[in-house]
Structure 1
Amino acid sequence: MQLTSVLTLALQLLAVDASALRPFKPPHVRTTRPQIHVGPKTLETDLPKVSPPRNATCHVKGGTEDDSAAILEAFHKCNNGGQVILDAGVTYTIGTVLDLTFLQSVDWDIQGTLTFTTDTDYWQANSLKYKFQDSSAFFAIGGKDVNIYGGGLIDGQGQVWYDLFVTEPTAKRPLLFVIDGLEDGTMSNLNMVNPPNWFNLIANSTSIVIDNMDLKVAAVGNPAKNTDGWDTYRSSNVVIQNSVIDNTDDCVSFKPNSTQVLVQNLRCNGSHGISVGSLGQYVGVVDIVEDILVYNTSMTNAGDGARIKVFPGAPADGSTSSGGGSGYVKNVVYDTYDVQNVDWPIEVTGCYTVNDADDCAARPPQFHISDVLFKDFTGVASKKNDPYVATVACPSLEACENIRTENFQVTSPNGKSEAKCSNVNEEELGLNCTA
């Protein structure tokens, strides 16, 4: 073999070896927007309109200590008809608070990992602040015609916040994902893990569909706190469906002024149930929750199954956030509900946070709860309250009207099915009230 041929072959081999050592760069790929089918139940009111195809793409580079500016720039560039892409195999870090409530006709394709810095001092000082329950957020999405999807992961780095809670229980722990002021939006095909506080808040929004989400808390030290799956607040025409939630607080919570909400096909584990409320927390504020359907739920290892909770009619000790509001709960249906190892498969609390009957009588809730149905419940409760599987405690007979069960087939571990009932029409309720 001639010397030149040998040299050529050696150079080719070196080139191959060198290319193998280069860092892998995943290709830029667009995810096709999922086509979401709402079913088997649907809303009688408006669902989000089908978005037109997007005509531009903005790939965010990522991989730096703080990718917030690059993400914000991409949304400005691809707003009004584009698609912002977080590529697969890349980690994107938000280290600066982001207000993304200006979006119009844009898709957010999250294929990679979206995470957050763990500077708890910065986030407590600079996060977006909300008066309701003194909450805060890393960022918020709002506007009109926004779709969020992609199959990626949103990691809240919650453990540092769970550890902080032990020494600073009043620290402002950010919500992981906030939708605020959005009309016609969808969120689907994403994974979320370890939020500092709630996973999701849907506030001041209408015509929203959430589909095929996986939410998981995996604390490795101090336990997670307040990790609600979804909370709806001042929002209407919302669908949450086909999702798995493994957490330590409410699976879903209908906060004040949630109307026309459908929740279906959820698997909840470790939670505090699917809850109406809490309501009436603030003095002089009127709260309503109306037209809610929860269908086909699996609830395991939980404190509650289906729950309604309202604060007393006056605050305690001069506080302005421990009761004193008013309002009503109307037309709420829990249908097809399987419980396994759940402390209270049904719990209605007419004086939330108050354990003393005399105290509740002294400041009765200013709420009317009516037209509530618990239908087709099956399963076995936990042994915690054996033989009781339900508690319905209304502040007065006038406060609760038409609260019913149909085909309630839940038993305690010893096979009994008894209920604690107070100030409720027991014949109408249809449970075996023995206390």
Structure 2
Amino acid sequence: MLFKAWSSLVVAVASLSVASALRHHHYPQRPPYTRGHGKTCTLTPKGHGADDAPNILAAAHKCNNGGKVVLPAGKNFTIGSPLDLTFLKNVDLEFAGRITFTNDTDFWQNNSYYLTYQNASTFWLIGGENTNIYGGGVIDGNGQPWYDLYAKNPLVLRPILFVIYGARGGSAKDLSLINSPQWFNFIANSSDFVYDGLHIAGKSVSSNVAKNTDGWDIYRSDGITITNSVIYNGDDCVSFKPNSTNIYVSNLYCNGSHGISVGSLGQYPAEYDIVENVYSYNISMNYASDGARVKVWPGNAAAMSTDLQGGGGAGYVKNITFDTFYLNSVDYAIELTQCYGQNNASLCVQAPSKMKLTDINFNNFYGTTSGVRKAVVATIICSVESMCSNIEASNINVTSPAKYGTSQYICTRVDTSDLHIPCTSS
């Protein structure tokens, strides 16, 4: 099966990303870096909450093309205006201090960078060629005012904390990201980028929940690696959005999330979404809604019966492997649905998904479910069998709470020949 091929590939190129392995290239260079720096620009914060964005921008221009920009340890920097760093080339950003974004929600709603996809925006953009960000510092999104505002107005534009945009090579290593207003990481229109050793945490201190705090969202990007990180959040730990290809995710500890997720996909009728060649390995998933998840919308936007809006988009998901997951009190160990966002499953049969799912592998799952779904451990539901093929599950050793009886696996409109689990129909 394709899983065996992927496993052999990962063993043979343990230090390579999937994309790089496929193209016989090496990882982007990771710290500590051996290249010399033509210039080093070390910044001093203005202090008292004054905006340091103009000085950071000036330093980035001065030390571009082979230099290094340093925000020293023990220093507190404030960003109070939009900051575009997508022009960088062969630059190191040593973020050793603390960066905090101002909490002026009115200002940021009118002045942040609008990213189009799912109404996303951000305080700043980092990109360019071979840009490496590291240093052990803290990036603080000052999210609490946003959590409280969102509870009053769900249409508010909440900035994403850390956006890599238009990068060609590079890395982000050894950083702490806290209190993001929305998603923590978004990488778009990029290739050959490595995240290594990030610590992500965010939680509301009021009764208003911190929502949509995804650890990573990957969009229109190829050759992305995410590894050796700890994530405490309230939505997808990692999500592979439209046109994510050749992705390698490994050695993550996720707590409170919605799992490692493909999608959602097929949300917009005029678009063709692709997610292909994704390998997720050695994941610890704790107190989450899902362990591994594939979620695509049904085939007719007009059929929706929830507040979520979408459906009708086409495309495919191919060659996806979830391998070696350790689960502690998750609601579903495995969830695959071609009916995302739909309360009435019969409507999804009437309007089958236009997203074809092929070669999806769930292998080596261990642990327990929470009991939220009672005895159900996994649910695999296709809109029609022809739109799902080569769906495989093997060595699934996950148990539901004993009080609910024998663990159950729901398999609907899917060929069960490669599902080595005791399937029952919904």
The structure whose Rg is larger is 1
Residue 271 of structure 1: which of 245, 254, 257 is its match? Answer: 257
- Say how many residue pairs are matched: 398
Distance 1:232 1:251 in 2: 11
Say whether residues 1:182 and 2:167 are aligned partners: yes
1:40 shift after superposition: 6.3
CA change 1:271–1:105 in 2 (3 A) is same
Distance 2:16 2:105 in 1: 42
Cross-structure match for 2:296: 310
1:137 shift after superposition: 0.4
SS at match of 1:360: helix
Cross-structure match for 1:203: 188
Say whether residues 1:129 and 2:114 are aligned partners: yes
1:284 shift after superposition: 1.6
Say whether residues 1:234 and 2:217 are aligned partners: no
- The answer to whether the 8 A contact 2:266-2:297 is kept is yes
Cross-structure match for 1:429: 419
Residue 101 of structure 2: which of 116, 121, 125 is its match? Answer: 116
Residue 57 of structure 1: which of 40, 44, 47 is its match? Answer: 40
SS at match of 1:428: coil
Distance 2:14 2:46 in 1: 39
Distance 1:354 1:322 in 2: 10
1:223 shift after superposition: 1.6
1:248 shift after superposition: 0.3
Distance 2:73 2:16 in 1: 34
Residue 72 of structure 1: which of 23, 43, 57 is its match? Answer: 57
Say whether residues 1:331 and 2:314 are aligned partners: no
CA RMSD of aligned residues (A): 1.6
Alignment of 1:27-426 (within 5 A): 39=14, 42-43=17-18, 44=21, 45=23, 46-50=25-29, 52-64=35-47, 65-221=50-206, 222-316=208-302, 322-414=310-402, 416-426=406-416
1:48 shift after superposition: 4.1
1:373 shift after superposition: 0.7
Distance 1:166 1:154 in 2: 24
1:406 shift after superposition: 1.1
1:430 shift after superposition: 1.9
Q: Percent identity?
A: 49
Distance 2:196 2:36 in 1: 20
SS at match of 1:302: coil
- The answer to whether the 8 A contact 1:47-1:209 is kept is no
1:427 shift after superposition: 2.8
SS at match of 2:378: strand
- The answer to whether the 8 A contact 1:150-1:190 is kept is yes
Q: What is the identity, as a one-letter code, of the residue corresponding to 1:224?
A: A
- The answer to whether the 8 A contact 2:308-2:341 is kept is no
Distance 1:63 1:218 in 2: 29
**Gaps spanning 5+ residues in structure 1: where?**
1-37
SS at match of 1:391: strand
1:61 shift after superposition: 1.3
- The answer to whether the 8 A contact 1:207-1:237 is kept is yes
Distance 1:207 1:47 in 2: 9
- The answer to whether the 8 A contact 2:28-2:171 is kept is no
SS at match of 1:276: strand
- The answer to whether the 8 A contact 1:47-1:184 is kept is no
- The answer to whether the 8 A contact 1:417-1:432 is kept is no
Distance 2:138 2:290 in 1: 28
Distance 2:345 2:172 in 1: 43
Distance 2:26 2:225 in 1: 8
**Gaps spanning 5+ residues in structure 2: where?**
1-12
